[in-house]
Amino acid sequence: MILYSDISINSNPVEILSVEVTEGHKQAAARITLELSDISGVELNHPITADFGYTSSHGNIFTGYIDAITETRMPGIYRLEGRDIVKRAMEHFIVTTDLENPWSRNNIPAENLVRDLLAEAGITNYSGDATSFTFGVSCPAEFNLIAAWDAVTQVCNILAYNCYAKNGTVYFKRVTPVPAETATKTLTIGNSGNILTEEYSRSTDNLRNKVVVFGRPPIYAERSIVSPHLPSGFYKTAIVSSELIDLQSMADSSAEYNLALYNKLTESVSIEIAGDYTVRARDTVEIIEPFLSMYGDKWFVFSVSHNLSERGYITRLNLTR
Amino acid sequence: MAWTINGVTIHVEEDSDWKWTPRIGEINVLDSTQTLIHHAGRPSYTRTLQFVVFSGYQENILTLPSGQVVPLVSDLGAQGNVTIKSVSAKRLLDISRNTGVYRCTMEIIKSGS
């Protein structure tokens, strides 16, 4: 299989020595790292797109901006690092000179609040799922002296929603790190397989069987459940706290959503496969591997990195369920 | 017909001719009896020459690896412009000459494109 790469910076194709793209469920922005021997005409914050795979099959997996340029005199190699388009929201600070009238919205659905916050950073390619949550009901939802992305993250944490970029569009939707019913890819071993290495582990590191939500006083909600993976009567607690929670029903729902999200065993598989650009973060894959007693087990792609270099094309996955 | 490199006459004793090793990533799948091969391009051509210089080794041969490409002409005709990767020599005993006679080994690179 002949490797293919078409990396463009500021719409100009560049020749690369290696490229790595990483993205993850809890990773705010996808990242790209490039090594190349010539950076003529390349400047910081130039737009960058990466399309790679094989000559027979390839696709775009990164759209963003250059963050940093590192130059090494000998042997004359440049390393570029970039983040996807949510970098704009991370670097846009919401500042109001009139402290009496900060940036605010009233009676606004959560998906529209996120839309407006992203628009402040110039991000307009946006797709937000309907939440049935309305902010600024009893008092305005205000943001000042905060990065647009941090404001979006506050909204996400309250609703157990996620915000991320994929192929140049920012999505706001609830994605729980559990596999879907249908896998988009099968990973297997043997002559027609693609698994190179694998490691399976399980722990209670991220398990939380109690969630406490604090809103605008005196709003408060609490949910808990007994976990078979913890000592009897033992609770590990997660806290959600925000002034944006201004209704009791909102606090109750937030506690229920987050308990469902956190009350589960942390199971993970680290796996390397022959390069496959179609595997993306938040996908569901199934594994067929007798050593791990997995015969079609489905896993959520928590993070993925695509590394293409002279050593070949390897995709590394961290899977959870 | 004598060989020349950058116009300097050399007397070639051994010639590896052009060598080329494609850049290949070997990907080994678990429990497989096959190897996935990822072609990741190819490097330039390389070649090793062993030759004798009867005079002017230090002035004309040792100064060649200057970062410039130089033309190589063999008994079969022009071989293109080459970059010299390394050159080394041993001095030979030759009582018939007043000049230093050297047996040289030279590694050269030519773009594969």
Over residues B44-57, the pLDDT tens digits come to: 999 999 999 998 89
- The helix, strand and coil proportions of chain B, stated in percent and rounded to the nearest 5, come to 5, 55, 40
Is the N-terminal amide bond of A75 cis, ω within 30° of 0?
A: yes
C-alpha torsion sign, points A7, A9, A15, A19: negative
Q: Which residues contact A304 (CB under 8 A, 6 or more apart)?
A: A22, A23, A24, A279, A280, A281, A315, A316, A317, A318
What is the C-alpha to C-alpha distance for residues B7 and A245, in angstroms, rounded to an integer? 83
- CA nearest neighbour of A267 among A206, A316, A223, A213: A206
| Residue B38 to residue A88: CA distance in whole angstroms | 36
Asked if A273 and A250 count as a contact pair (C-beta separation under 8 A), the reply is no
Q: Let me know if A235 is exposed, middle or buried by CB neighbors in 10 A (0-12, 13-18, 19+).
A: middle
Please tell me whether the overall predicted TM-score, pTM, comes out greater than 0.90 for this model: no
Among partner residues A274, A312, A313, which is closest to B29 by beta-carbon distance? Answer: A274
DSSP A75-125: TTEEEEEEEETTHHHHH-EE--S-TTS-EEESSEEHHHHHHHHHHHTT---
pLDDT at B1 over 80: no
Residue A176: what pLDDT?
84
Low-confidence stretches of chain A (pLDDT beneath 50): none
pLDDT in tens, B76-108: 999 999 999 999 999 998 888 888 899 999 999
Residue A321: the pLDDT is 87
Calculate ∠ Cα A173-A174-A177, nearest 5°: 130
Name the nearest CA neighbour of A20 among A3, A32, A6, A8. Answer: A32
Instruction: Report yes or no: B22 at the A interface, CB cutoff 8 Å.
Output: no
Q: How confident is the model at residue B5 (pLDDT cuts 50, 70, 90)?
A: very high
What is the rounded distance in angstroms from the CA atom of residue A235 to the CA atom of residue A225? Answer: 8
Higher pLDDT: B67 or A306? It is: A306
Whether the pLDDT of residue B2 is over 80: the answer is yes
- Cα Rg of chain A, angstroms: 22
What's chain B's average pLDDT? Answer: 92
The reported pLDDT for the residue numbered B108 is 95
| ipTM for the whole complex | 0.78
Contact flag A189-B29 (C-beta cutoff 8 Å): yes
Position A162 scores a pLDDT of 93
Q: Tell me, what CATH number does B33's domain have?
A: 2.40.30.200
Nearest CB to A191; choose among B24, B32, B41: B32
Looking at the structure of chain B, the number of domains it has is 1
Structural domain boundaries, residue B52:
3-110
DSSP A40-60: TT--TT-EEEEEEEETTEEEE
A285: nearest Cα among A175, A197, A176, A180? A180
User: Considering just the CA atoms, what is the radius of gyration of chain B in Å?
Assistant: 19
> Is B32 in contact with A190 (Cβ distance < 8 A)?
yes
User: B111 and B44 in contact (C-beta within 8 Å)?
Assistant: yes
Residues of A engaging B, defined by a Cβ cutoff of 8 Å: 1-3, 189-191, 193-198, 274-275, 289, 308-314
Give pLDDT, residue A88. Answer: 95
Q: Do B40 and A312 touch (CB under 8 A)?
A: yes
What local confidence, expressed as pLDDT, does residue A165 receive? 94
Distance from CA of B108 to the nearest CA of A (A): 19
Contact B64, B54 (CB under 8 A): no
A84-104 per-position pLDDT tens digit:
999 999 999 999 888 888 999
B28 in contact with A, Cβ within 8 Å: yes
Farthest-apart Cα atoms in chain B, separation: 68
**Higher per-residue pLDDT: B34 or A126:** A126
Disruptive mutation site among B38, B85, B111 for chain A (greatest number of A CBs within 10 Å): B38
SS3 (DSSP) at B4:
strand
Closest to A216 measured CA to CA, from A240, A252, A241:
A241
Q: Out of B23, B24, B27, whose CB is closest to A274?
A: B27
DSSP string covering A147-211? EHHHHHHHHHHHHT-EEEEETTEEEEE---SS--SS-SEEEE-STT--EEEEEEEEESTT---EE
CA–CA distance, B84 with B80 (Å, rounded to integer)? 13
Which residues does B39 contact at the CB level (< 8 Å), separation at least 6? A1, A2, A3, B22, B23, B24
Handedness of CA A172, A178, A184, A190 (dihedral sign): positive
Residues of B in contact with A274 (CB under 8 A): 27, 29, 36
- Residue A191 is nearest to which of B24, B33, B37, comparing CB atoms? B33
